[in-house]
Amino acid sequence: MAPQGKLTPLQETEARRLAAEEARANKVPKVYSEEEKALRKERVAKAKDALSRSVGLKGAHVPPARAALKKYLQQLNQPNQPDDAQFEMLVEAPFKAPPKKRTNDRRF
């Protein structure tokens, strides 16, 4: 039995296309309960509210916090969602200034 060589780029893309087509055909749709739907709607509303309220805020911590909120909204259908405590931190992040770093400088 001879070992099979590498696939050509054309064969590789064709194999990927066939695998993706088969995966789409065998896909089982996810069914969300009413409780999960309500939680998702509530979280989306909170995230959108936080984004709209944080538009005029200034500070170095605001752009990364807004980016995290936008990323959350873009990835709603991903399986790894933050738990309630992490989500609350995410929503409050643009409004809380990070604590100032303490230095050991003892200038008078």
**Domain containing residue 38:** 32-95
Q: Is residue 72 part of a domain?
A: yes
CB 73 within 8 A of CB 44: yes
Average pLDDT of span 13-18: 92
Q: Is residue 52 part of a domain?
A: yes
Q: Is residue 6 part of a domain?
A: no
Length of the chain as a residue count: 108
pLDDT above 80 (res 108): no
Q: Is residue 106 part of a domain?
A: no
CB 97 within 8 A of CB 59: yes
Domain count within the chain = 1
pLDDT above 80 (res 1): no
pLDDT per position as a tens digit, 40-97: 999 999 999 999 999 988 888 899 999 999 999 999 888 888 899 999 999 999 888 8
pLDDT above 70 (res 2): no
Q: Is residue 10 part of a domain?
A: no
Task: Provide φ and ψ at 5, rounded to 5°.
Answer: -75, 180
